[in-house]
């Protein structure tokens, strides 16, 4: 049932407050227990997903499964049979729904199609009633409720108790009134109900994942009596938005109203998939925002120091003030780049210390996130002049002494394809340079 305006002030505030907290694109997946931007820009190479305890992170409890999930699938889908998350991850309802659906295995195209429909029905508010209704009467006829405006309707085969069933499900799981403190729990429960609760199993997910586009021909998709004479017998191949509408929503929208669903789905796709692809361009479990991993690890990323050994080489690089130079161990494919960087730093008169913890290859955990491998483990990163460029520095350019990095030094590294820890959005690490973008 199509949503209607006229919501309670408190409900409007809930929606507006949520949408005001939309992630910036680069942080769309950032959350209490999953913060991909942090992992991608804080020298963390091997990502170990953090388990969200029931009631932890940004969500409440409910559903089944361990609660450990990783929404960072590439653009395709994952395992549609994966257990339901036990909490939600995201800054607002849009982020939480996107992450939930991706974690459960929907493609980006399918996820966007679902969300375009949900927004047009409910504004993504699990408590909203049609035309401003605040009733929790499960047997109320003809009045939509919740994310997809489940509605009790009477047809030739009897009454379809969609509203009754979802409200009773909420009540059975501890949500009996529109209490904003239980909003995440209500949202999670309704997502679980949508996924496989209403029909006792999955009925639409696999078909939706087969769709390759969000858009479709609205002229052959409307149930509205004024337009349904042209409706096709099936919406398979007509885009994820219209297929979900046909399989699950089944409202009486006109073609113009269906186009609004498509437009909103495209907005969600643009907002979330671009950021997700930037952060989740993966090889194995590697968060590789630069796309370079496969070029130096064609057989996959090493999982131990012994496996890494075959990729390493020790070279001598020139440094100011020491005619013997400095021996560093790095990935063998990057030898020419490292030699060039150090030669150019020497040429501009920038001195390098070698006695303060400086170095390149080191199979170890990330200092700022123990439990995750540093990029130093893969021979692609180097720390220079540690004391004068401390991790966690208040300024990207510490300016402590002549050993502190300068814009000219940073540019030399960047000219050869390296990123700089001083550009990290969280903990600044001005000593750190990495060829893999983190």
> Are 32 and 145 found together in one domain?
yes
Query: Dihedrals φ, ψ of 420, to 5°?
Result: -125, 135
Quick one: pLDDT at residue 183? 92
Quick one: pLDDT at residue 108? 86
> Are 386 and 298 found together in one domain?
yes
Whole-structure pTM value: 0.55
> Are 179 and 306 found together in one domain?
no
Quick one: pLDDT at residue 105? 85
Which residue, of 286, 318, 333, is where some domain finishes?
A: 286
> Are 198 and 280 found together in one domain?
yes
Which residue, of 254, 286, 318, is where some domain finishes?
A: 286
Does residue 168 fall inside a structural domain? yes
> Are 280 and 294 found together in one domain?
no
Closest CA to 167 of 184, 181, 186, 185: 186
Quick one: pLDDT at residue 158? 86
Q: Vertex 96, ends 247 and 152: CA angle to 5°?
A: 40
Q: How far apart are CA 406 and CA 9, in angstroms?
A: 53
CA-only gyration radius of the chain, Å: 26
Q: How far apart are CA 257 and CA 234, in angstroms?
A: 19
Quick one: pLDDT at residue 371? 53
The domain total for the chain is 2
> Are 199 and 68 found together in one domain?
yes
Which residue, of 286, 312, 340, is where some domain finishes?
A: 286
Does residue 268 fall inside a structural domain? yes
As a dihedral over the C-alpha atoms of residue 70, residue 71, residue 73, residue 79, rounded to 10 degrees, the angle is 80
No. of helices (H) and no. of strands (E), the chain: 13, 12
Does residue 2 fall inside a structural domain? no
Quick one: pLDDT at residue 145? 95
Residue 151, class by beta-carbon neighbours within 10 Å (0-12 exposed, 13-18 middle, 19+ buried)? Answer: buried
Report mean pLDDT in 10-residue bins for the chain, 438 residues: 35 27 26 40 41 29 31 57 82 89 88 96 95 93 95 88 95 88 93 91 90 94 94 95 95 95 91 59 40 77 89 96 93 96 97 91 76 81 94 89 95 91 80 80
> Are 230 and 317 found together in one domain?
no
Query: Dihedrals φ, ψ of 283, to 5°?
Result: -125, 115
Q: How far apart are CA 13 and CA 111, in angstroms?
A: 26
> Are 272 and 373 found together in one domain?
no
> Are 308 and 193 found together in one domain?
no
Tokens of 166: 């979802």
Q: Read off the CATH number of the domain in which 132 is found.
A: 1.10.530.10
Q: How far is CA 215 from CA 3, 240, 378, in A?
A: 21, 7, 42
> Are 264 and 375 found together in one domain?
no
Q: How far apart are CA 339 and CA 359, in angstroms?
A: 14
Range of the domain at 301: 290-434
> Are 52 and 197 found together in one domain?
yes
Quick one: pLDDT at residue 299? 80
Give strand ranges (E) for 256-298.
Answer: 282-283, 286-287
């Amino acid at each position: 049932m199509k949503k209607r305006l006229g919501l309670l002030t408190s409900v409007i505030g809930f929606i507006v407050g949520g949408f005001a907290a939309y992630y910036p694109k680069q942080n769309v997946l950032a959350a209490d227990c999953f913060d991909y931007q942090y992992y991608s820009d804080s020298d963390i190479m091997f990502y170990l997903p953090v388990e969200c305890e029931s009631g932890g992170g940004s969500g409440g409890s409910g559903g089944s499964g361990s609660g450990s999930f990783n929404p960072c699938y590439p653009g395709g889908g994952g395992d549609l049979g994966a257990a339901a998350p036990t909490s939600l991850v995201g800054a607002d309802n849009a982020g939480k729904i996107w992450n939930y659906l991706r974690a459960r295995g929907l493609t980006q195209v399918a996820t966007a199609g679902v969300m375009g429909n949900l927004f047009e029905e409910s504004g993504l508010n699990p408590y909203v009633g049609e035309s401003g209704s605040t009733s929790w009467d499960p047997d109320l006829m003809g009045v939509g409720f919740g994310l997809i405006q489940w509605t009790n309707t009477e047809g030739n085969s009897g009454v379809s108790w969609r509203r009754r069933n979802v409200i009773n499900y909420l009540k059975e799981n501890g949500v009996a009134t529109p209490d904003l403190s239980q909003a995440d729990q209500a949202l999670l429960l309704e997502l679980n109900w949508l996924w496989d609760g209403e029909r006792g199993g999955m009925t639409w997910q696999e078909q939706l994942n087969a769709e390759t586009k969000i858009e479709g021909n609205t002229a052959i998709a409307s149930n509205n009596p004024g337009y349904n004479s042209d409706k096709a017998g099936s919406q398979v191949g007509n885009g994820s938005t219209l297929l979900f509408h046909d399989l699950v929503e089944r409202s009486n929208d006109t073609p113009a109203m269906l186009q609004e669903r498509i437009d909103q789905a495209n907005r969600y796709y643009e907002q979330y998939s671009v950021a997700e692809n930037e952060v989740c361009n993966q090889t194995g479990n590697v968060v590789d925002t630069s796309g370079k991993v496969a070029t130096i690890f064609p057989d996959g990323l090493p999982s131990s120091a012994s496996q890494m050994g075959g990729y390493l080489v020790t070279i001598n690089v020139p440094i100011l003030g020491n005619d013997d130079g400095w021996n560093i161990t790095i990935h063998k494919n990057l030898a020419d780049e490292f030699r060039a960087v150090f030669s150019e730093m020497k040429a501009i008169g920038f001195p390098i210390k070698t006695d303060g913890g400086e170095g390149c290859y080191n199979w170890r955990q990330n200092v700022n996130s123990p439990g995750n491998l540093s990029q130093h483990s893969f021979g692609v990163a180097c720390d220079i002049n540690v004391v004068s460029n401390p991790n966690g520095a208040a300024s990207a350019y510490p300016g402590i002494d002549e050993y502190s990095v300068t814009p000219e030094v940073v540019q030399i590294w960047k000219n050869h394809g390296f990123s700089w820890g001083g550009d990290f959005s969280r903990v600044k690490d001005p000593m750190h340079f990495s060829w893999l973008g983190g």
